[in-house]
Structure 1
Amino acid sequence: MSSSLPASVDLNRPIVKNTPTREVRNRTSGADRPETGDRRVQRTKTSLRAALIGLAREKPYDSIAVKEILDRANVGRSTFYAHFRDKKDLLESGIHEMLRSVHGRPRVRDALEQVIAFSLPILEYVNQHRRADGPKMMRAGRIVMHDHLRDVLADLIAEDIALVIRGRRSPPRMPADLVARHVASTFVLVLNWWVDGEAALTPREVDARFRSLVVPTLEAL
């Protein structure tokens, strides 16, 4: 039986539909590039932190419900709990984020100076929010925030003090953890004094007062 197919047809060649080519846009570049997952997560966390701070300006911290934070940030409950355990965890994450940017700066050569290098950047950060328009954060909320700040600072300061001690042959004259807590507590004390008293001092002037209180102790370490 003779074949009805032309002799030039290759039966082993895969069949390709004769469709017009279509220009495909590169989805990974240009203004239309989709936002990465990491950026979306960061934007969500930033919105939640801003919502918590905004509510803390309007009502006592203890009375703020997670649902209020979600409503203000326009974030779903499941999304919130995918990142945070509760509002305390959200608050602490904001403090860590602020300190991460401060601690991520280039280290100074003087080891003792590095221990207190966090002070001025934090004071400048607080000053920006103090001068912002709108209601100020209620005292109860500020106390909670500063308590968390003190605890986180104590851990970071202890790490820097450990580096100071590591380069010495003789043991420290005072317990390092006690000095770390002293420096952190003194900073928060000065911070509260500045904010509560509405003292007309610049961040640099407040930083100088903080240093005058803790540098002698650090030098005695």
Structure 2
Amino acid sequence: MNQQPHTMLDFPDLDELAGNRHALRSQRTRDLLLEGMYRLALEKDFREITIQELLDRTGVARSTFYAHFRDKEDLLVAGYEKIGIPHTRVCEVSGDSRVVLDVSSWLFTATERHAELTTSFFSSPSQGIILVHLENILIIQVREHYRKQGLYDSNGLHGEVAVRCFVGALIGLWLWWVRHDYPSSANEMTEAFDSLMNNGTWPAAD
């Protein structure tokens, strides 16, 4: 009768388990602080929110806050990062297959999910601070995508012009959409923007 050879059980490494627990605690803390800031932002202007208010609201220690974030603007940026990175997709442009960064869908869809918060942010005196961070994130994402696709030359002007024009157009349309109380769905806004900016298709004349 053949006997199966004994095998050693693979137990998780203790250091790995400890690291995973630490990462989970860290993420829970960051999520708690973000949620607290968002709730406060629905009540008052972002500039009026103090770190102490945020700590009182969440029960997080001051030392713990500063272990994760430099200041409340750093926390704000983390909120954008939590949305994730835009995906890419292949589409046909003028008969050629091109890899397109789906950043418009990323922005419009995330905004639609958090419409009340976005309206509060961009109806407040602090909207300029928030907009600067959003613009910087979009510029970095688009510039990196163009670089990967061989469309960006850091030594020339045209690459940066393309990045700034694309991001400027996206933010301009997005702000109009937010300030007019979301007159169309995120999908409709994405399709309209992409048909023009990615495919070069202008709306048909009436």
TM class by shorter chain equals: 0.7 to 0.9
Q: 1:190 aligns with which of 167, 173, 186?
A: 173
Q: Counterpart of 1:178 in 2: which secondary structure? A: helix
Q: 1:128 aligns with which of 99, 105, 113?
A: 113
Q: Counterpart of 1:42 in 2: which secondary structure? A: helix
Among all aligned residue pairs of Structure 1 and Structure 2, give the percentage whose two residues are the same amino acid. Answer: 25
What's the offset of the Cα at 1:88? 0.8
**In the aligned structure 2, how far is the partner of 1:118 from the partner of 1:204?**
12
What's the offset of the Cα at 1:121? 2.8
The match for 2:90 is 109
User: How does the TM-score come out when normalised to structure 1?
Assistant: 0.68
Kindly indicate whether the alpha-carbon contact (under 8 Å) linking 1:102 and 1:122 is maintained by their aligned counterparts in 2: no
Q: Which structure's residues are more often strand, by fraction? A: 2
What's the offset of the Cα at 1:108? 2.3
Kindly indicate whether the alpha-carbon contact (under 8 Å) linking 1:165 and 1:172 is maintained by their aligned counterparts in 2: no
| 1:159 and 2:144 aligned | yes
Check 1:39–1:204 CA distance in 2 against 1; reply closer, same or farther (3 A cut): same
What's the offset of the Cα at 1:60? 1.2
User: How does the TM-score come out when normalised to structure 2?
Assistant: 0.73
Per-residue CA deviations over 1:14-68 (Å, capped at 9, x if unaligned) read: xxxxxxxxxxxxxx8xxxx998110110011011111112211111111111111
* Cα-Cα RMSD: 3.2
Q: Counterpart of 2:85 in 1: which secondary structure? A: helix
Per-residue CA deviations over 1:95-149 (Å, capped at 9, x if unaligned) read: 1221xx233x4x423575523x0211321121122268xx951423444323211
The match for 2:51 is 66
The match for 1:215 is 198
Kindly indicate whether the alpha-carbon contact (under 8 Å) linking 1:119 and 1:187 is maintained by their aligned counterparts in 2: yes
| Number of positions where the alignment pairs a residue of Structure 1 with one of Structure 2 | 177
Larger radius of gyration: 1
Range moving further from structure 2, 181-190 or 153-162: 181-190
